[in-house]
Amino acid sequence: MSTEEPPLSRAERRRSTEKRILNVARQLFGELGYDRATIRGIAKAAQVDPALVMQYFDSKENLFRQVVRLDAAQSAPETADPLIAQLMAGLGVKLAGMPAPSLAMLRSMLTHPDTAAEMRETFDRQIKQVSAVLEGDDAELRAALLIMAHLGVVVGKHLLELEPLRDTRPERIIELLDPCFKTLTDPAS
């Protein structure tokens, strides 16, 4: 169908190959996690020699970093004004279409030490941010519970793919979660 080939220049071809590898890597890291996604598997799926992957990305660790870096870039608007509302909005985004690179991080966060460390930092930061605007006792704890509950739902939907979560509109999920989380954000325990 698109067998028409506007003859690509060398540089164009190179960029397109690199991007293809990156896309495949993103998908496989997301599906399989760091350990089970292999350079050889990525290369085969990208229809390329494994050695080429190394030339472009130096090492598997570095390829993984490139893959998950795309995430960090797009995930932090950080205006932090109506922070809680924004947290919920963030959840909405994550539920609708999880940014693909995040999947790779999520998938590997329990088994890949570097990812675990990075994730813990991220969550610690979020906890501090959120708890700063929470009133009442145990603000940090409540923030942590809030964020981990988020995490659980996202994991259930995108990684475990539980049917009730898979098949429900994100808006409905947020609708249900909203009053639930209000009990953690409002100082009335």
Partner DNA sequence: GCTTTCACTCAACGAGCGTAGAGTGAAGCG
Partner DNA sequence: CGCTTCACTCTACGCTCGTTGAGTGAAAGC
Distance of CA 73 to the CA centre of its chain: 11
- Applying CB under 7 A, among 27, 32, 45, 48 the residue interacting with DNA is 48
The two three-digit tokens of residue 16, written as one number: 């397109």
Per partner kind, with CB cut-offs from 5 to 8 A, the member of DNA, its own copies, none near residue 110 is its own copies
Within 8 A by CB and 6+ apart from 98, the residues are 106, 154, 158
**Residue 57 or 181 with smaller CB distance to DNA:** 57
Which string of x and - marks every residue 58-97 that binds its own copies (by CB under 8 A)? ----------------------------------------
CA atoms of 21 and 63, how far apart (whole Å): 10
**Residue 49 or 178 with smaller CB distance to DNA:** 49
Question: Which helix H or strand E contains 109, and what residues bound it?
Answer: none
CA atoms of 95 and 146, how far apart (whole Å): 16
The two three-digit tokens of residue 122, written as one number: 């991220």
Chain contacts with its own copies (rule: CB under 8 A): 32-33, 35-36, 106-111, 116, 119-120, 123-124, 127, 138, 140-145, 147-153, 155-156, 159-165, 168, 172-173, 175-177, 179-184, 189
Residue ranges in contact with DNA by CB under 7 A:
9-11, 13-14, 17-18, 37-41, 47-52, 54-55, 58-61
